[in-house]
């Protein structure tokens, strides 16, 4: 593992500790990187949960009708089960208005979840800017490069 990899993961771990290792938080990334979300889950011994794959894809053409209440129900269960890195939440948020997204983001980070829930964000990083104390904003230079094998596997 490169020094750069260790540094961003250490930064992530410090961020989680500063929050008491519970509740909801955002991991704001400069690009779509499933490999990094999986690395965070592994480092923090959390479940990696792909919301789009698990809850939206099975609904096919009706996926855009999934409500934010369904997302919150999944998050509640994941929290009770010990927490998770919940990837591809933006797939659902993309079907909502900007106001709905902002309201969901603010509600998510203020909810008293029993476990740790980390939601990576890329597309709606600007809307995530309303959250300052429960979001870790990483820059491209903070992160390891993604190799071709990783791109193909993720």
Give the model confidence (pLDDT) of 94-116 as tens digits: 999 999 999 999 999 999 999 99
DSSP structural state of residue 46: -
Torsion of CA 107, 112, 118, 123, to 10 degrees: 0
* pLDDT given for residue 88 in this prediction: 97
- What pLDDT, on the 0 to 100 scale, is given for residue 56? 96
Query: Would you give the DSSP letter of residue 57?
Result: G
The Cβ-side half-sphere exposure at 108, using a 13 Å CA radius, reads 30
- 152 pLDDT above the threshold of 80: no
**What is the torsion angle, in degrees rounded to the nearest 10, for the CA atoms of residue 32, residue 131, residue 85 and residue 91?**
-50
How many whole angstroms separate alpha carbon 110 and alpha carbon 87? 19
Over residues 118-129, the pLDDT tens digits come to 999 999 988 887
So what's the pLDDT on residue 1? 46
Is the per-residue pLDDT at 78 higher than 70?
yes
pTM across the whole model: 0.87
pLDDT, one tens digit per residue, over 18-66 is 888 889 999 999 999 999 999 999 999 999 999 999 999 999 999 989 9
The CATH number linked to 71 is: 3.40.50.300
As for how many domains the chain has, the answer is 1
Residue-number span of the structural domain to which 105 is assigned = 3-153
Dihedral angle at the C-alpha atoms of 28, 128, 70, 80, nearest 10 degrees?
60
Task: Return the pLDDT at 126.
Answer: 85
């Amino acid at each position: 593992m490169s020094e750069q990899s260790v540094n961003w993961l250490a930064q992530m771990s410090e961020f989680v500790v500063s929050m008491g290792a519970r509740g909801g938080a955002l991991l704001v990334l400069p690009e779509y990187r499933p490999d990094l979300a999986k690395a965070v889950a592994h480092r923090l011994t959390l479940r990696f949960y792909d919301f789009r794959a698990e809850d939206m894809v099975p609904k096919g053409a009706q996926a855009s009708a999934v409500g934010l209440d369904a997302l919150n129900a999944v998050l509640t269960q994941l929290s009770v089960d010990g927490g998770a890195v919940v990837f591809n939440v933006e797939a659902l948020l993309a079907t909502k208005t900007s106001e709905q997204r902002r309201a969901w983001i603010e509600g998510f980070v203020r909810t008293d979840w029993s476990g740790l829930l980390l939601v990576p964000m890329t597309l709606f990083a600007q809307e995530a800017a309303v959250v300052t104390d429960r979001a870790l904003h990483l820059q491209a230079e903070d992160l390891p490069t993604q190799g071709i094998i990783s791109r193909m596997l993720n």
